[in-house]
């Protein structure tokens, strides 16, 4: 590698880290702007929207404009989804607690733990699905759950990336403070994007094959 090549590589890394830190700052500010409770979901949605553009190799997008537009546009819808997420999460949490302390039924407890795992892997895809597709609120959960099961390799990769980040943040907590949110969101969006591409490719293949069959039938008759 030449000197110029090395400096260019370091510059690109530094530039990317600066963008990640700036995006994290926006996420924190707009979460607080929404009084945390009402700001977390739209700010997280806006952050995933920017990262989606990065993953799609649109690295020079105006970060603030894209972030603010998504935050404002999806403020209500993302908060509705947030209420549903919290409701399901609390339901599972209290059910597991009651099952463990009062009912003490191993089969029931195992079922609740399995449902909690499904809930967790569905959440991994929820924001990526939300910023890519325009669906009704309930369908985001259905689509996220379907993707989590249909693309197990990407789902496992997401979980592994979260584990790696957990140890990285434990070793370098400064990263969590200044760039934590985008560093967590980026691998989730990246692996989800791979899953989207594969699913959409299969759908196009099936549609193409179906169209060819219909054409042949029309020609036959």
Give how far Cα 46 sits from Cα of 9, 71, 151, 162, 208, Å: 28, 5, 25, 20, 35
Convert the pLDDT of each residue in 18-32 to its tens digit: 999 999 999 999 999
Please tell me which residue, 218 or 152, carries the higher pLDDT value. 152
- Per the confidence metrics, is the pTM higher than 0.85? yes
Q: 28: which 2 tokens?
A: 């924190």
Is pLDDT above 50 for 218?
no
Is pLDDT above 50 for 219?
no
> Residue for token digits 């799609």?
56
Q: 160: which 2 tokens?
A: 């592994």
**CA gap 73, 6 in Å, rounded:** 41
Convert the pLDDT of each residue in 42-89 to its tens digit: 999 999 999 999 999 888 899 999 999 999 999 999 999 999 999 999
């Amino acid at each position: 590698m030449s000197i110029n090549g090395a400096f260019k590589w370091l510059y690109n890394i530094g530039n990317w880290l600066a963008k990640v830190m700036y995006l994290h700052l926006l996420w924190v500010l707009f979460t607080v702007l929404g009084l945390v409770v009402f700001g977390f979901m739209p700010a997280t949605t806006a952050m995933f929207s920017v990262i989606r553009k990065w993953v799609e190799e649109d690295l020079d997008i105006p970060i603030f404009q894209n972030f603010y537009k998504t935050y404002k546009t999806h403020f209500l819808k993302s908060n509705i989804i947030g209420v549903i997420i919290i409701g399901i999460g609390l339901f599972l949490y209290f059910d597991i607690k009651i099952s463990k302390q009062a009912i003490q039924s191993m089969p029931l407890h195992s079922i609740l733990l399995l449902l909690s795992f499904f809930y967790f892997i569905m959440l991994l895809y929820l924001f990526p699905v939300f910023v890519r597709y325009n669906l009704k609120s309930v369908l985001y959960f259905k689509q996220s759950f379907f993707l989590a099961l249909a693309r197990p390799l990407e789902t496992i990769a997401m979980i592994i990336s979260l584990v790696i980040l957990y140890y990285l943040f434990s070793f370098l907590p400064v990263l969590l403070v200044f760039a934590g949110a985008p560093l967590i969101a980026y691998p989730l969006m990246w692996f989800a994007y791979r899953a989207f591409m594969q699913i959409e490719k299969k759908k196009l293949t099936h549609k193409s094959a179906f169209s060819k069959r219909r054409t042949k039938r029309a020609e036959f008759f």
